[in-house]
Amino acid sequence: MGDTASKRVIAGLMKIDPEIRSSGFRKSLAELSSSRYFLEAAGAFLPDGYLLDHDEARVLIYEVVDTHPIRPDKAACIAELSDELDDIGWELLVVTLDYTGHPTSELPGWAYMPAYTSMVAPPNCLDMTPAARAVARAREGERPATPEELLEAVRKLPF
């Protein structure tokens, strides 16, 4: 691993818990589902570190936010992945850490949904914009949540 704050923090986490990984994210998630939407969401971004907890059906993503918070495009990708994991009965939990390795937040992936519903994703994030993805899902008989339903869910968050 190189000598950046995020790599140092993740290397430290890997010493504490050898199950935490910093590479192979897409391949690990591809073992959970072969759905086209799931694979697109799994390939949308790479976290600093991650852990697949098969016993709890949970994916933990570790993001080191050493100089800036999670960007809106990355937040949208997190929300999309959370939605796809939920479809297969898994949960996404995002743990942010500062440059010293201290946790700064621990949020479920769906808490990032406002970023997902309010933006047109840049090409490096998703192959389809959220609107295009919603149209494709509707064509396949799935009804995506409306922006109003998503905002209502966010308003009910306990923070």
pLDDT at 26: 87
Say whether pLDDT at 132 is over 50. Answer: no
* Angstrom distance (rounded) from CA 99 to CA 119: 28
Phi-psi region of 101 (alpha: psi -120 to 50; beta: other; left: phi over 0): left
Name 8's Cβ contacts closer than 8 Å, sequence gap at least 6.
1
* Angstrom distance (rounded) from CA 19 to CA 131: 36
133, 126 contact by CB (below 8 A): yes
pLDDT tens column, 5-28: 888 889 988 998 899 999 999 889
Is the C-alpha dihedral spanning 13, 17, 22, 26 positive or negative? negative
Number of neighbouring beta carbons within 10 Å of residue 13: 21
pLDDT tens column, 39-84: 777 777 789 999 999 999 999 999 998 767 787 778 888 888 888 8
pLDDT at 4: 83
* Residue 136 belongs to domain spanning: 5-155
pLDDT at 103: 84
pLDDT at 89: 93
* Angstrom distance (rounded) from CA 149 to CA 57: 25
Structural domain total, the chain: 1
